[in-house]
């Protein structure tokens, strides 16, 4: 099988590329990735020299590049996106451009190239905050952040290409991923890497927002499974079956790392902060998918990975763009009392 992966230099995409190249010795992967701040060639340094992997540095919004990358490809797995909710609150334009316009360009070129499968990687955030019960695939979309809205718009475009143009596409919606190679602006790697340096973690609001956590290696296994066994036109939820309020998860990590409670510092809440996400994953399970990583084991593996890979995350935390973004964020959120450096 020849695959086009978009966003393969990012967190989940790079884990997916590594996984499929290892599991399928005859598969080849083209990785279309423009390398934003979140894209990092180091994430795939171990496969980069091989004949079965090629990175094309281009924008998914570029129809020529997309068409070129789709030549001779059997299937597309589409990860490329702006993915951080906080950034979408500060500036939503790139989210609309990449997540909506970019997805449209890929759908159009996939239709022209007559690919046999298009897997669109989406998120549980499109369902909005679920106070009770669990989101099922047919539930209405009620996105609340500009990020979630841009992903929901992309989901609807995928659906329309499937119905109108018979594009053999399917949509996956996963919960919060964690694991190796996650950019240290997201909650868990920020927490772990700040704790290594005895720096505080800024806890948004009352810390009672509930997220479901899926280990990235289980997520990429589920994507591989659906690429091969999923049905065209369907949506599949991919959860981790491990939901917890942020406070509880943070407390667990704090104890595992032996750090003082004073390192968890409440800050004003994220605007529009969804209270709870919860996925019903019965449809995926009914197809026969089984998780391989118990949560505790995955959390320990993740902490151990960041401990062993300082050379990967330190430069990212030092980089100017990263600081500038957080400085703006904290200045905006905490007003004149803000001391951005106190939160990292
Ligand atoms: P990420 O931010 O780590 O990586 C995104 C990648 O896309 C980067 O390599 C970046 O360079 C690339 N990219 C961005 N804009 C591009 C463009 N215009 N053209 C080409 N490449 C571009 O993201 P992630 O956390 O790995 O998420 C991957 C996908 O999974 C996203 O679609 C996201 O919405 C979805 N998702 C993420 C999570 C999560 O917990 N991280 C959960 C559910 C769904
Ligand atoms: O639910 C799936 C989504 O998970 C994906 O679609 C997104 O791409 C991904 O970024 C993630 O979104 P979240 O907003 O849930 O993830 P984040 O890591 O930013 O935050 C997780 C929780 O922790 C959330 O309730 C906000 C809180 N938080 C986050 C940060 C960065 C804090 O309390 N403090 C922080 O500094």
Model confidence over 55-85: pLDDT tens digits?
999 999 999 999 999 999 999 999 999 999 9
Q: How many whole angstroms from 203 Cα to the centroid of ligand 1?
A: 24
Domain boundaries, the chain: 2-178+214-238, 187-211+242-275+294-334
Compute the average pLDDT of residues 9-16: 98
Nearest CA to 79 among 113, 122, 109?
A: 122
- Chain mean pLDDT for the chain: 94
Q: Are the beta carbons of 247 and 211 closer than 8 angstroms?
A: no
Token duo for residue 213: 């956590």
Pocket of ligand 1 contains residue 98 by CB under 6 Å: yes
Whole-model pTM: value is 0.96
Place of tokens 């598969």: 27
Residue 106 dihedral angles phi and psi, to the nearest 5°: -65, -40
> Is the pLDDT score of 321 beyond 60?
no
| Helices (H) then strands (E): counts for the chain | 13, 12
Pocket test for ligand 1, best of 6, 81, 188, 278 (most atoms within 8 A of CB): 81
Sheet holding 210-215, edge to edge: 176-178, 210-215, 243-245
- What angle separates helix 310-318 from helix 320-334, to the nearest 10 degrees? 60
Q: Please report the pLDDT score of residue 305 as a whole number.
A: 98
Pocket test for ligand 1, best of 83, 189, 213 (most atoms within 8 A of CB): 83
pLDDT-based confidence at residue 18 (cuts at 50, 70, 90)? very high
d(CA 298, CA 302): 6
Closest C-alpha residue for ligand 2 atom 15: 176
Place of tokens 């409440």: 266
What are the residue numbers of the active site?
124-125, 147
> Is the pLDDT score of 323 beyond 70?
no
Closest C-alpha residue for ligand 1 atom 5: 10
CATH of region 2-178+214-238, choose from 3.90.1330.10, 3.30.1330.60, 3.50.50.60, 3.40.50.720: 3.40.50.720
d(CA 244, CA 65): 42
Say if 2-178+214-238 and 187-211+242-275+294-334 have the same CATH topology: no
Q: What is the CATH number of domain 187-211+242-275+294-334?
A: 3.90.25.10
- According to DSSP, the residues that pair with 267 across neighbouring strands are 204
Q: Please report the pLDDT score of residue 340 as a whole number.
A: 38
């Amino acid at each position: 099988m020849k695959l086009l992966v978009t966003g393969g230099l990012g967190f989940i995409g790079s884990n997916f590329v590594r996984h499929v190249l290892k599991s399928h010795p005859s598969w080849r992967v083209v990785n279309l990735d423009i390398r934003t701040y979140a894209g990092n060639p180091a994430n795939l340094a171990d496969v980069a020299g091989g004949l079965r992997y090629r990175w094309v540095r281009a924008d998914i919004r570029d129809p020529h590049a997309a068409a070129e990358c789709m030549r001779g490809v059997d299937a597309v797995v589409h990860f490329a996106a702006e993915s951080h909710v906080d950034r979408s609150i500060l500036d939503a334009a790139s989210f609309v451009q990449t997540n909506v316009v970019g997805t449209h360009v890929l759908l159009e070129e996939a239709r022209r190239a007559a690919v046999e499968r298009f897997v669109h990687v989406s998120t549980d955030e499109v369902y909005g905050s679920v106070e009770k019960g669990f989101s099922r695939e047919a539930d209405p979309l009620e996105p609340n952040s500009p990020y979630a809205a841009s992903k929901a718009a992309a989901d609807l475009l995928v659906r329309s290409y499937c119905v109108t143009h018979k594009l053999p596409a399917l949509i996956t919606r996963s919960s919060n991923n964690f694991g190796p190679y996650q950019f240290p602006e997201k909650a868990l790697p920020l927490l772990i890497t700040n704790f290594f340096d005895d720096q505080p973690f800024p806890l948004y609001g009352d810390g009672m927002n509930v997220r479901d956590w899926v280990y990235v290696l289980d997520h990429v296994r589920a994507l591989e499974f659906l690429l091969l066994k999923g049905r065209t036109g369907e949506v599949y939820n991919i959860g981790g079956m491990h939901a917890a309020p942020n406070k509880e998860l943070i407390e667990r990590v704090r104890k595992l790392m032996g750090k003082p409670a004073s390192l968890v510092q409440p800050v004003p809440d994220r605007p529009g902060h969804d209270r709870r996400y919860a996925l019903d994953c019965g449809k995926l399970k009914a197809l026969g998918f089984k998780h391989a990583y118990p949560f505790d084991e995955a959390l320990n593996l993740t902490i151990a990975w960041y401990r062993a890979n300082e050379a990967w995350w330190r430069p990212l935390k030092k980089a100017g763009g990263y600081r500038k973004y957080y400085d703006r964020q904290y200045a905006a959120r905490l007003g004149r009392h803000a001391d951005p450096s106190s939160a990292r």
